[in-house]
Amino acid sequence: MRTRITNITLTPGVQGQAHIPFIDHAEVHVVGNRIEYAGEAANAPPFVEDETIDGSGCLCMPGLVNLHTHTPMTYLRSVGGDLSLDDWLHKAIFPLEKQWDAQLIRTATDLGCMEMIRFGTTTFNDMYFYTDEIAEVVKQNGMRALLGHGIVDFDESCADMVEGVRMAEKWHHGANDRIRFSLAPHSEGATTPTLLRKVAQTAKSMGLVVHTHVSETDFDLQGCIKRRGATPPAYLEQIGLLDGPVIAAHCVWFNDADIEIFQKHGVTIAHNPISNLKLASGIAPIAKMLKQGCKVALGTDGVASNNNLNLWEEIKLMPMLQKGNMLDPLVVSPAETFAAATVVGAKAIGYDDLGLLKPGYLADLILLDLQVPHMAPTIDLEANLIYAAQGSDVRLTMVDGKILYRDGVFTTLNRQQLLAQAEQGAHEMRTRLSKQA
């Protein structure tokens, strides 16, 4: 398939620039699942297309990367609102999670993917269970994902890891390389040193990324100091887990030494500002991390602690939260924020050809409507993109060269069916739980 996208403003994305670049009167050529050209229409080479997409009034940009979520938790949306973290987990979330079955996981995952596609997220990084079903759903609905089977270990049996490795062996580089797998130990507090050493060794031998939660709460921090005599980053360094590529979610309770450790090892921090605020976990020192050269990307976390998968809300909050907390309007730039939502996450997942619109890169892109009241006037498109754009402005979402959403229509998912299944599935889970009471 050869696709020409015309009459657009284009941003090829950000990688090291001080500002987000924009090109007016641009076009993009897509051949198969790759970008062949992205630039000024006047300089475009001859191109014979099978389809032309008129992007008049739109910005064409790289698709968003949600670097930390638990997608099937769509069926737990708004469960346990305004509870303490301990009550939220043990009284609201864990009892319902015991009611999952494979069919519920599949429809809940599709619902989450539909939400992300609608809001311009083309790639997500997930940690959950029933990963075989999640992978099958992603294969069919066309998204790109790094998936990991959540691993816990309290007795040094490392039993959960067997399933994680099995899924990685089955799915890594699957679905035309749209699906990759990680090893996903839940956290320091939910694992043993034996398990984490084994994860580090296995990830290295299999060439896998490690995805884990780190220092999400003060409770996590103090517990690790009590158990291990070190902060979580120092402990993970001692145990060898940071010797390969790592995605660390949250990283709220960090001191300067922790930041230095993660910068030294090239760990990518998955920042989840809304979830951290909603659960009263705290505010991650993102401005300090960026200043020290850390890799920072954005995630939503699961909808039970967010309560949606609209990464544009995280984009707006990331710089604003740091500015307000540090009383400095200069601490996080639009360019740093845009990179956090695109190319930084793409590279953390292991793609060196994703997150930018340039020849040879994967054709994961979106069209964002600029002709809406909240984006006018266009005095500063860079500022509009970070502080004014909404997920509902997305007009088109393309992954791997295929259109998954366009002007209200999903091409691989049935909107009405999934919405009905969500109501039925959530009711079924609650009915099962009430019968156990």
Q: What confidence tens digit (pLDDT) does each residue in 146-155 have?
A: 999 999 999 9
pTM of the entire predicted model:
0.97
Architecture of domain 64-349: Alpha-Beta Barrel (3.20)
Question: How far apart are alpha carbons 349 and 148 in whole angstroms?
Answer: 11
Angle between helices 232-239 and 218-228 (to 10 degrees): 50
Beta strand extents in 110-215 (DSSP E only):
121-128, 144-151, 179-185, 209-214
- φ/ψ (deg, to 5) at 27: -150, 160
DSSP designation for 43: G
Stretch 224-243: mean pLDDT? 98
Percent with pLDDT over 90 in the chain: 95
Closest CA to 130 of 91, 95, 103, 157: 103
Alpha carbon dihedral 341, 343, 345, 350, in 10-degree steps, equals 170
**Do 2-62+355-406 and 64-349 share a fold?**
no
What confidence score (pLDDT) does residue 38 get? Answer: 98
pLDDT at 384: 98
Give the model's pLDDT for residue 435: 83
pLDDT at 437: 66
Look at phi and psi of residue 141 and say left if phi exceeds 0, alpha if psi is from -120 to 50, else beta.
alpha
Domains of the chain, residue spans: 2-62+355-406, 64-349
The CATH H-level (homologous superfamily) assignment of domain 2-62+355-406 is Urease, subunit C, domain 1 (2.30.40.10)
